[in-house]
Amino acid sequence: MQKEDLYGFVPAVVTPFNETGDIMEDAYQDLVKWLIGQGAKTICVSGDNGESWALSAAEKGRLTRLAVDTVAGKVPVITGCSAPTLKNSVDFALAAKENGASAVLSMPQTYVLKATRDELLGRFEKLTAAIDMPIVAYNSPRRAGLDLSLDDIGAIMDVAPIIGIKESNRDYFHHTHLIKRYADKMAIMVGPCHYIMPGIAIGAHGFIATGPEFLGSDTTNITRIAKEAPDAKTADIHYKLTVLYELLMGNSTWPASFKAALNLIGQPAGIPRDPVHQATPEVIDTIKKTFDRIGISYKS
């Protein structure tokens, strides 16, 4: 996989669990098929939406294989391998590679509130040496506990085969300079939904985000519309993406509300795995009311 292959709508698919915490493989494959039908250009396995923190290396490998078999060569599959320790990251990445992943998605050392430049570079150098495959970097200050600066990102690109980055920094100054400095060197993939339209308009290549899959036929066209001169349709999609992101991120423990919303539209997302609880009836009612307000159909 090369940087040119990473673009457009790249959904991070949820991992459907049943009441006993087992993966519902048929439901998972149905979700992957649905996302391909929605216009996905790559499938992202075991990201935040997939409850990566609750998955073993064997489960990540199995989910990767199921996704690879389901997409049947139509699009690439990338798999999240982030972990606090290098050993776990390598184990996750090798499981993904052995099961057909085209690249891995990796944060720096997660849950470490501080990391020196040498520690950051050492992590990516050693991961590269161990797995020998393309890497999509993942900057998520809110989840990882540290924020990659523009210079950090450039330095990591010097020591690892970085083909793109999922950028979830919520500072648009950062996004603006990231796109200007690196858009010709790697695929810039926007994270937060409310940055998708303006991000693509100024040069981002696509998005790995939560919420676009609810927009039906518009999901496939987001990248194209974002590149065109802004009009009422642009504003409408941007508004809906913003409302969806606020809704799904602002209720329950992640990703309970996202799974509840998918279930409402008939997609078999299952329930979260322990220790995350299912969305409450009150949260589900909030989701329904928001869907009503922005015109998303769901099952009663």
Model pLDDT, residue 203: 96
How distant is the alpha carbon of residue 201 from its chain centre?
A: 20
Going from N- to C-terminal start, the domains of the chain cover 3-228
Is residue 223 pLDDT above 70, yes or no? Answer: yes
In one-letter notation, the amino acid at residue 247 is L
Cβ contact 196:226 at 8 Å: yes
Is residue 145 pLDDT above 90, yes or no? Answer: no
Per-residue pLDDT reduced to its tens digit, 55-95: 999 999 999 999 999 999 999 999 999 999 999 999 999 99
Model pLDDT, residue 91: 98
Per-residue pLDDT reduced to its tens digit, 181-208: 999 999 999 999 999 999 999 999 999 9
Model pLDDT, residue 112: 72
Q: Enter the pTM of the model.
A: 0.94
Cβ contact 35:47 at 8 Å: no
Reply yes or no on domain 3-228 having CATH 3.20.20.70.
yes
Per-residue pLDDT reduced to its tens digit, 96-143: 999 999 999 999 987 776 788 999 999 999 999 999 999 999 999 887
User: What tokens does 107 get?
Assistant: 């944060």
In one-letter notation, the amino acid at residue 158 is D
In residues, how long is the chain?
300
Query: What whole-number distance in Å separates Cα of residue 248 and Cα of residue 87?
Result: 32
* C-alpha triplet 113, 169, 259: angle, nearest 5°: 95
Burial 272-292 (b: 16+ CB within 10 A, else e): bbeebebbeeebbebbbebbe
Please give the mean pLDDT across all residues of the chain. Answer: 95
Cβ contact 126:94 at 8 Å: no
Per-residue pLDDT reduced to its tens digit, 10-47: 999 999 999 999 999 999 999 999 999 999 999 999 99
Model pLDDT, residue 143: 78
Model pLDDT, residue 113: 67
The average pLDDT across 218-238 equals 95
List residues bridging with 187 in a β-sheet.
164
Per-residue pLDDT reduced to its tens digit, 240-271: 999 999 999 999 999 999 999 999 999 999 99
User: What tokens does 79 get?
Assistant: 């798999």
Model pLDDT, residue 115: 85
DSSP letters, the chain, are --GGG--EE--B----B-TTS-B-HHHHHHHHHHHHHTT-SSEEESSTTTTGGG--HHHHHHHHHHHHHHHTTSS-EEEE---SSHHHHHHHHHHHHHTT-SEEEE-SSTT-S---HHHHHHHHHHHHHHH-S-EEEEE-HHHHSS---HHHHHHHHHHS-EEEEEE----HHHHHHHHHHHTTTSEEEE-SGGGHHHHHHTT--EE--SSGGGGTHHHHHHHHHHHSPP-HHHHHHHHHHHHHHHHHHSSSSTTHHHHHHHHHTT---BBPPTTSPPPPHHHHHHHHHHHHHHT-----
Model pLDDT, residue 300: 79
In one-letter notation, the amino acid at residue 21 is G
